[in-house]
Structure formats: structure tokens, C-alpha cells
Structure 1
Amino acid sequence: MKVVLLSYTKDPEILCGAAARSCYSEKGASEIIDEITEEKARKVVAHVRDMGHHSILEHATFTFSIEGVSRVLTHQLVRHRMASYSQQSQRYVKVSEANIVEPPKIKENKEAHEVFEKVVKEAKEAYQKLLDLGVPAEDARFILPQGIETNIVVTMNARELWHFFTLRTCFRAQWEINQVAWEMLRLVKEVAPELFRGAGPACIRGPCPEGPKNCGWWRTKEARKLREEYRQVRYK
């Protein structure tokens, strides 16, 4: 699995800060953006974000390349509709030699791993046999496992990313998309720390919404640290 932040809106926090200020100013955003400092922009972003004025987050977009993941993951990913996706085609890209994502729970169980390897080998051989028989790749792919590796390019705005992180960094999310979500969050925090301060599972910002089904992570030292950092910034 590999996650790369390919591109993002230039100076995303300054842009969002200027957009927010323009709602309450006689000046236009083109003038405000030339005057506003990074420090001031971050304060404005923090203020309006915590007020629930989340529409300003939509002005900043982030594009990722997510590589070497399963189609199990991408089927979940594309359910987030306020985004743009471009995925590797199984119609035009033959996948005979493609790797398969093997879940850790299968890999660590010797007998289960052997069953997995056997079925994957048979599926790949059957796929190649269909191609050899003249079956188009777009039809032969029907036999491929969901675990076949794929690549996908994803673009989301910051508001949708907040929603995505709330759902997918929660440890009740499926393990593969959970890992991808945490890596995406790490990458956007490097370039827009204030935009994404407090982003992550819901238990960082308040009670766990999962009730009796909660995973217990909110009790951990790491979770307490993130909650404290969020509160210190929000209420200082």
C-alpha cells in the first residue's frame, strides 16, 4: 500500500481564511488574501470551523494517489460521493501478474494462508486461460478475486475529508481503508495543520458515537493525547 499527496490547493489555510473573512468584510477576497497573514488565517479558520461554518473548508482540495490496494477498499472508498475518482481499468490493463492483498488475519494463520494462496493461484491461472481462449479482458476479469491490487486517484475537498476521516479512521472501520485514512490524514496535516486540527475519529472531539459497540481506542493514551491537543487549541 502506498499513499501519495499528489497535489493540493496552494496555501489552503490562507485561502479558506480569506474566504471566511470575506463573509464579514466590505473587501473582496482578492484584497483580503493579499493582506492576511498565515497566523491570522489559521486563527480565522479555527474560529469558523469550531462555530460549524464548515462551508469554507470546501475551497481547499487535495488529490491523492492510492496504490497497491484491493478492490475491497476501493468499493468502500467510492461510497464517499463528494469526491472525484480515477481508477486503474481491468478492461485495458491485464492483471495476470498483479499482486493480491492478503488480509493479516489470513497471513498469520498458516492453514488459512495456504488455502488463500491456492485459490488465488487457481483464479489467476483461470483468468489467463480465458484470455488465451480469446475472451476479452473485460469479461475475463469477472473471475478475479476482490483482493486484486489496484491503483486509484482521489480528489476531495477539506470538508469531505473531515467526514471521511471521522468514519474511516475509526477503528471499527475495515482494516485496509482504516490504514489508508490514517495515512491520508497524516499527509494533509503536514500541509494544512489548522484545517485538519481535530480531524480523525469522532472520539477525539467528543463521546464515541458507537455506544456499546465502541472499540475502546478512546480510552488509550494516544486518544487522550489527541483529545487534549484539540481542546487546548479550541478553548485557549
Structure 2
Amino acid sequence: MKVKLICHTPDPERTVAMSARLCYSAVGAEQLVEKMSPDQVAKLVDKIVEMGHLSTFEHVSFTFAVEGVSRVLTHQLVRHRIASYSQQSQRYVKEHDFEYIVPPSVAANPQAAARFAAVMDQVRAAYDELAALGVHQEDARYVLANATETKIVVTMNARSLLHFFELRCCARAQWEIRRLADAMLVEVRKVAPHLFRKAGPTCVTQGLCGEGDLTCGRLDSLNKQGGR
């Protein structure tokens, strides 16, 4: 899996701070941007996070290039609203020699790994046979597996990202999208550490777990350790 933050709103934390300050200021946005020191920006963003007034987070966005992931992952990813996606098309890109993602549970079991690889070989052969019979790739793709590797560009605003991290950094999230979320969080913290200081699963950020009997137990562990 490759995850890279390829672009974002310039000076995102200053933009958020300016947007928040504007609500209570008689001067315009341009003057506010110039007046606030880096320390004032950081303190205001921290205060906004603590208060949960996150509408100003919608003014900044982050764009990621993601490679080496499966269609299983992207089918989950595109369910997240307030986001933009551009994915490699199986309709126009020939998949006769496609790469595929092997789940860790399969890779750790030699017999399962061998069976998995054999099925992928069969899928490749079927795809090639359909193409040889004159079937266009837009229809030949119907035989492809969910494991097929894909690439996608993802853009989310900061508020949507916080929600995404709450759900997908959770230990109960499916393993592949959890890896993606963890990697995306690392990337945004490099450029906006205050915006995403408290980002993560709700057990960490809010002291709450909505998984009920399916909880991983992390919240209890945090409470015992005084980790919140």
C-alpha cells in the first residue's frame, strides 16, 4: 500500500483559525490572516478542537494518492460522503496481468495462500480468454476478483477526515481500510498537527465505544491506564 498526501489547502491551520475568528470580528478575512501569529493560530485551532466547533474545518481539504489497495477497500472507502474520488477504470484499463492484494490471514497460511494464488491465476486466464474471444474489457472485468489491485485519488475536507478516522482507525474496522486510515492520519499530521491532534477512534478521542458486545476492549484498557 502506498499513501501520499499530494496536495492540500495552503496553510490549513491558519485558514481554519481565520474562519473561526471572522465570525466574531468586524474586520475582514484578509486582515485576520495577516494579523494572527503562528502561536495564536495554534492556540485557536486547539480551542476549536476542544469545543467541537468543527464547521470551520470544512474550509480546508486534503488530496491523497493511494496505490496498492484492493477493490474490497475502495468499495468501503467510497461510502464516505463529502469526499471526491477518481479511481482507475477497469472499463478502459486492461487487467490481463493484474496485481492483487493478499489478506494477511491468507498469506500466513501456506495452504490458503497457494489456493488463493491458484484462483487468481484462473481469473487471469478467464479474463484473457474472454478478451481473445472479442469481449471488450468493460465486460471481461466481470470475472475479476475483489482482490484486484486498484489506484484511487481521494479528497476530503478536514471535518470529513475526522469522521473517517473515528470509524476507520478503530480496531474493529476491516484491516485494509484501517491501514489506509492510519497512513492518511500520519500524512495529515505532518502538515496540520493541531487540526488532527485528537483524531482517531472514538475510544481515544471521546472516551466512547459504539461497538457494544463487539468492542475490542481498548476503551477499558485506556480507562484503567488513565490514558484519556
TM-score under structure 1 normalisation?
0.92
Q: Which amino acid aligns with 2:204?
A: I
Distance 1:112 1:195, change over 3 A: same
Which residue does 1:188 correspond to in 2?
188
The answer (yes or no) to whether the contact 1:13–1:38 under 8 Å persists in 2 is no
The answer (yes or no) to whether the contact 1:57–1:159 under 8 Å persists in 2 is yes
Partner Cα distance (1:216, 1:6) in 2: 35
Distance 1:182 1:13, change over 3 A: same
Structure 2: which 5+ runs fail to align? none
Shift of the alpha carbon at 1:220?
A: 5.5
Shift of the alpha carbon at 1:224?
A: 5.9
Shift of the alpha carbon at 1:52?
A: 2.0
Task: Number of aligned residue pairs: give it.
Answer: 226
| Residue-by-residue CA offset, 1:148-167 (whole Å, 9 max, x unaligned) | 00000000000000000000
| Residue-by-residue CA offset, 1:5-34 (whole Å, 9 max, x unaligned) | 000111000010011000011011111001
Consecutive aligned runs of 4 or more in structure 1 exceeding 6 Å deviation: none
Which residue does 1:200 correspond to in 2?
200
Which residue does 2:211 correspond to in 1?
210
**What pairs with 1:53-202 in structure 2 (closer than 5 Å)?**
53-202=53-202
TM-score under structure 2 normalisation?
0.95
Partner Cα distance (1:178, 1:193) in 2: 20
Which residue does 1:234 correspond to in 2?
none
Structure 1: which 5+ runs fail to align? 229-236
Shift of the alpha carbon at 1:218?
A: 3.6
| Residue-by-residue CA offset, 1:121-164 (whole Å, 9 max, x unaligned) | 00001001111111000000000001000000000000000000
Q: Which amino acid aligns with 2:176?
A: E
**What pairs with 1:24-35 in structure 2 (closer than 5 Å)?**
24-35=24-35
Q: Which amino acid aligns with 2:112?
A: A
| Identity rate, percent | 50
The answer (yes or no) to whether the contact 1:54–1:159 under 8 Å persists in 2 is yes
Shift of the alpha carbon at 1:212?
A: 2.2
